[in-house]
Homo-oligomer: A and B are copies of this chain.
Amino acid sequence: MPDRKRITLKDIAKELGISVSTASRALNSYAGISDETVKMVKEFAEKHNYVPNTMAVNFRKNKTMTIGMVVPELVHYFFSSVISGAIKEAKKHHYSILVSQTDELVKNEIMACRTMLSSSVDGLLISISNETGNTDHLQEFLDEGRPVVQFDKVSDQLSSPKVIVDDFQGAYSAVQHLIEQGYRKIAHINGLQHVKNSQERLRGYSIALGDHEMEGSSAWVVHCQEISEAEGFDFAKQLMTSSNQPDAIFCITDLVAMGAMKYLKQAKISIPKEVGVIGFSNWDMANFVSPGLSSVNQHAYQMGEKAVELLVEAIKNNEVGKDQIFETKTSLVVRESTQRLG
Chain A residues engaging chain B, CB cutoff 8 angstroms: 1-4, 6, 51-56, 58-59, 62, 64-66, 74-77, 80-81, 83-84, 87, 91, 96-101, 115-120, 142-145, 229, 258, 262, 265, 284-285, 288-290, 318-320
Contact = CB atoms under 8 A, between A and B. Distances in A.
Contact of A258 (B81, B96, B288): B288
Contacts of A80: 74-76, 80
Given A58-B59, A98-B96, A120-B54, A84 B77 contact: no
Nearest to A75: B80
A116 B115 CA distance: 19
A44 B99 CA distance: 33
Given A145-B2, A289-B288, A290-B265, A98 B66 contact: yes
Given A1-B320, A98-B98, 10 more contacts: A1-B318, A52-B118, A54-B118, A55-B59, A74-B80, A83-B99, A91-B100, A97-B100, A258-B288, A289-B290
Given A74-B84, A96-B100, A284-B285, A54 B119 contact: yes
Contacts of A96: 98, 100, 115-116, 119
A269 to B, nearest CB: 14
Contact of A285 (B64, B229, B285): B285
A83 B74 contact: yes
A258 B87 CA distance: 29
